[in-house]
Amino acid sequence: MKNIRSYIDKKFGVLDRRWKSLPLRQQRKLTLYFFLSYFAITLFTLVMVWKETSKVSRKMEIEHITNPVLKRKQIETGKQD
């Protein structure tokens, strides 16, 4: 566990040094790109949830629960209910 922790710390140190070595203008540009990507993914997710929830009908269908294992065995043996 100690080796994993030291490995992760070492890798984060390398990434931190690389980030700090970038010019400030490029850091801001990359931060903006990351934020816009995150915003686009969030917006896409919200639109998909809104789209799925708007399709809901007011009718509720109630069906019996079937065991998928038994159903597959019936298909394999050729038996039907």
User: pLDDT tens digit string along 33-70?
Assistant: 999 999 999 999 999 999 888 876 677 778 888 777 77
Rounded distance between C-alpha atoms, residue 17 and residue 14, angstroms: 5
pLDDT for the residue 63: 81
CB of 80 closer than 8 Å to CB of 74: yes
Alpha carbon 67 to its chain's center: 29
Residue 22: DSSP 8-state: S
**Are residues 62 and 54 in contact, defined by beta-carbon separation less than 8 angstroms?**
no
| 1-43 pLDDT tens trace | 788 999 999 999 999 999 999 999 999 999 999 999 999 999 9
- The structure's pTM equals 0.55
